[in-house]
Amino acid sequence: MPELPEVETTRRGIEPHIRGKTITGVIIRQPQLRWPVPPELPVLLHHRKLKHVSRRGKYLLLTFTNGTLLLHLGMSGSLRILPSETT
């Protein structure tokens, strides 16, 4: 599990790539986590523009006009930016 410096490094690494971008699609690979992922999440995020990426403890906060998406890096500690043609 990543520690605070790794989470901050991840935040700084992804922010320039995703800030100001618009969500065009959401893929939920594992809907049953500690808290279930709401099935309406793809609809809530579709065509939303990412305003800001911040961190609170070990959580990444992705702020949109309609709310904030909370991300935790889990045990792997990784978050990847992949080309759109990657499935």
- Is residue 3 flagged as an active site residue? yes
Average pLDDT (7-33) is: 90
- Is residue 16 flagged as an active site residue? no
SS (H, E, C) 7-71: HHHHHHHHHHHHCCCECCCCCCCCCCCCCCCCCCHHHHHCCCEEEEEEEECCEEEEEECCEEEEE
SS3 label, residue 81: coil
Query: What residue ranges define each of the domains in the chain, with the CATH number in brackets?
Result: 4-72 (3.20.190.10)
Residue-wise pLDDT tens digits, 52-69: 999 999 999 999 988 999
Q: Give the pLDDT score at 87.
A: 66
